Amino acid sequence: MDKHELALYYEIFKNEEYKIILDKIKDSKIIFDVWSHIWFFSLYCFKNTPELKIHCFEASKANFKKNKIILKDYNEKVIINNLFVDFEDSERTIYINTEKNMQTSYYNNQFLCKSDKKEIVKSINLMKYIREQNLDYKDSIDIVKIDIEWYEFELLNNIEETFFNSIKTIIFEYHLLFPDFQLKYDSLLKKLKKHYKKITIKKSKYNNKVGLIVCEN
């Protein structure tokens, strides 16, 4: 691991960024890890609940290749998809952050991922995938964790609303660093409040325009 991957490891396993849903993880049977980056969230879940089925999604080929090492002991418990999770089947261009691979993104900007290196990837309609896995019934999936480097609003604002009926808990990052993102944020919260009884917003201690949102039934 390089220094940035070690920092991410520390964030998840030492600072326990996802402790906010630890009780949910311990009670889970099926979890979706979107995007997986280099699979630390999945490992954190297995550490706390060994008997899990996790569906992992990672668009970057470089990150995807690392799964054979990091998740080698969980092959029978993980379905690994080298796909960009989306609200439609298509192709997307992502920008590869060669210094911080976890910040490879659909967006290309100075703050997140200023990069000239592009990769064309296959995207998949997440709701279609859920149907194909026969998981499109009420509360069939315990947790969906989403960390798509700013694409969270696009995915969740545009995916068909039946998606939310299948998911007990959603946890995702939000970023409000541009004015139009605030509009997307407001629109998404309005939608989520129709489907979830409890919504928790946890601001980052480093930047109050960045944080986590947890939606629970």
pTM of the model: 0.90
**What is the CATH classification number for the domain harbouring 48?**
3.40.50.150
Nearest 10 degrees: CA dihedral of 88, 178, 175, 208? -170
Beta bridge partners of 43: none
CA distance 30 to 140: 8
What's the length of the chain?
Answer: 217
What residues in the chain have per-residue pLDDT under 70? 1-10, 67-68, 97-115
Q: What is the pLDDT of residues 125-174, one digit of tens each?
A: 999 999 999 999 999 999 999 988 778 999 999 999 999 999 999 999 89
Judged on CB neighbours under 10 Å (0-12, 13-18, 19+), 122 is middle
Backbone angles phi, psi at 34, to 5 degrees: -130, 120
CA distance 39 to 79: 12
> If you write DSSP's letter for every residue of 40-55 in order, what string do you get?
HHHHHHHHH-SS-EEE
The parent domain of residue 107 ranges over 3-216
Q: Residue 65: its pLDDT value, please?
A: 79
Q: Are 102 and 38 in contact (CB under 8 A)?
A: yes
Looking at the structure of the chain, the number of domains it has is 1
Residue 55's CB is within 10 A of a number of other CB atoms, namely: 22
